[in-house]
Amino acid sequence: MDKQAFSRRDMVQLLGVGSIASAVLPTAACAADQPKRKLGYAIVGLGSYATRQIMPRIKECEFARLTALVSGTPEKLERYGSEYNIPRTHRYSYAEYDRIRDNPDIDLVYVILPNSMHAEYSIRASQAGKHVLCEKPMAVSAAECEAMIAAARKANRKLMIGYRSRFEAHNRHAIELVRSGFAGTPALITAEHGFNAQPNQWRLDKPMSGGGSLMDIGIYSLNAARYLAGEEPAEISAMEYTDRSDPRFRTVEDRIDWQMRFPSGLIANCVSRYTSNHNAYRVTGDKGWVGLEPATSYAGQQMWVRANGKTEQRFVPALPKNQFVGQLDHFAECAMSGREPLVPGEEGLRDLRLIEAIYRSAREHRAVKLA
């Protein structure tokens, strides 16, 4: 167990410290060489997203640093271990994974594996006493999500899902504008995500991915519709089309679009595709609309709004931290302060329950009412 993390959290709670700034407590271990205490991330899975998007940005973090790597490929451990100055003692194969519990430099584990491995490697990290940040989709079933939440709770550790758009300036501003009533009462959300999937990758192998475009990119439409609506859907209806003669789609779906009716009467029309490019959403109310296109890309978001019969682009100032750094730091702060993450495991579970309902609706050609 990570006693250090425990004691920090307990101290913060004991002191009743609310703000993050004051929650950054100096510790004996790092007070000498670092002005602020930084928690250590182990990255689990050294694929493209980890190595190209996440690892290069950890150095920009205020509250976190990269301290360990986990991979099944020795060459990757060697290459990235060397590049990021990770000592050999802090490089792990999957067989050695459970030994992270004995490494006090690892406070946080970021699971960036194929979807079907999320649950196992998150649960084992929780059991090793680490706080877990897990990529979306949280897992390949709601049942797995529930097990992950239970494991983190039992270990008294945090669990967060990598919904990075919640840390992105345009998305945050869109939510604020919608909540402020800029567009009036929201009546329609359209959310569209898709791209042309490259062949021969784990995402197209259902045992690894748990599903097709919906699990991979459609989840952005789903999650955005929920954070823009600010309420949970009451009914869902989906329609799927997949050309099974396309070798990419032998086991996973290509096109799956769905409608969600929310208790307020808001209806969301969502799109998920593996054969065309889409990255946009729009919230329309009785007074106008707020939209992003692209909406959830790594960078380059653009906001367009309409009010008083006029459509215009709206400049959104950058946040001090980009979405990747914001997410990584937020989770470190939560681990330090004991605060609940903005997008905890329960948020990932809600999406997986809806994903299951979307698949069921498409399969059974009927609407699914949600509890």
Q: Do residues 201 and 247 touch, judged by C-beta distance below 8 A?
A: no
> Is 227 marked active-site?
no
DSSP state letter for 80: H
Mask for 196-225, x = binds a second copy (CB under 8 A): x-----------------------------
Q: How near is the Cβ of 259 to a second copy at its closest, in Å?
A: 5
Catalytic position from the list 136, 158, 206, 321: 136
Strand boundaries in 33-185, DSSP class E? 39-44, 64-70, 91-92, 108-111, 131-134, 159-161
> Is 38 marked active-site?
no
Between CA 358 and CA 368 the distance in angstroms is 8
Catalytic position from the list 97, 220, 274, 281: 220
Determine, following the binding rule CB under 8 A, whether residue 75 of this chain makes contact with a second copy.
Answer: no
Q: How near is the Cβ of 287 to a second copy at its closest, in Å?
A: 9
Between CA 151 and CA 149 the distance in angstroms is 5
User: 122, 165, 190, 337: which one contacts a second copy (CB under 8 A)?
Assistant: 190
Is the CB of 40 or the CB of 288 nearer to a second copy?
288
Length of the chain: 371
Between CA 327 and CA 68 the distance in angstroms is 18
Determine, following the binding rule CB under 8 A, whether residue 72 of this chain makes contact with a second copy.
Answer: no
Mask for 281-320, x = binds a second copy (CB under 8 A): ---xxx-x--------------------------------
Q: How near is the Cβ of 310 to a second copy at its closest, in Å?
A: 12
Q: Which residue has 């106008």 as its token pair? A: 288
Q: How near is the Cβ of 276 to a second copy at its closest, in Å?
A: 4
Mask for 157-186, x = binds a second copy (CB under 8 A): ---------------------------x--
Pairing of strands 159-161, 131-134: parallel
Helix (H) or strand (E) holding 219: helix 219-229
Q: How near is the Cβ of 273 to a second copy at its closest, in Å?
A: 6
Beta bridge partners of 307: 288, 310
DSSP track, 144-195: HHHHHHHHHHHHT--EEE--GGGGSHHHHHHHHHHHTTTTSSEEEEEEEEE-
Residues with catalytic annotation? 136, 220
Residues within the interface to a second copy (CB under 8 A): 184, 187-188, 190, 192, 194, 196, 235, 237, 239, 241-243, 255, 257-259, 261, 265-267, 269, 271, 273, 275-278, 284-286, 288, 365-367, 369
